[in-house]
């Protein structure tokens, strides 16, 4: 796997995190922050519970995708730095 493909896949992961964050913001924008407990508010209670479940699921996947993106980026940076170190060592060994 070339470095360009790995960087491209990391960019796609990072874009996925950004898109998920934007989508979560759009979903949460419709959130009603008042707790509805009255008898006449049954429909509001159901919609509030459904929206809370949806936001919790988005938060879970957002955390997982963010962690995967971070770890993959750290590994990618380590591979790049190691490659540069080896290349520099080879140049200094050949040049001597």
What's the confidence (pLDDT) of residue 52? 87
Q: Are 15 and 73 in contact, with CB atoms under 8 Å apart?
A: no
What's the confidence (pLDDT) of residue 14? 96
Extents of the domains making up the chain = 3-95
| CA distance readout (Å), 56 to 33, 50, 62 | 15, 10, 10
For the chain, residues with pLDDT lower than 70 are: 1, 32, 34-37, 94-96
What's the confidence (pLDDT) of residue 12? 96
DSSP one-letter code for 7: H
What's the confidence (pLDDT) of residue 36? 64
What's the confidence (pLDDT) of residue 40? 73
Nearest to 53, CA basis, from 34, 21, 22, 28 = 28
């Amino acid at each position: 796997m070339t470095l360009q493909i790995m960087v491209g896949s990391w960019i796609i992961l990072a874009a996925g995190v950004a898109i998920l964050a934007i989508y979560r913001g759009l979903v949460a924008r419709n959130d009603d922050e008042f707790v509805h407990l009255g008898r006449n508010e049954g429909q509001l209670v159901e919609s509030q519970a459904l929206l809370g479940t949806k936001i919790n699921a988005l938060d879970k996947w957002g955390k997982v995708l963010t962690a995967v993106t971070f770890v993959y980026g750290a590994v990618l940076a380590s591979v790049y730095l190691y490659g540069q170190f080896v290349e520099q060592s080879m140049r200094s060994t050949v040049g001597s």
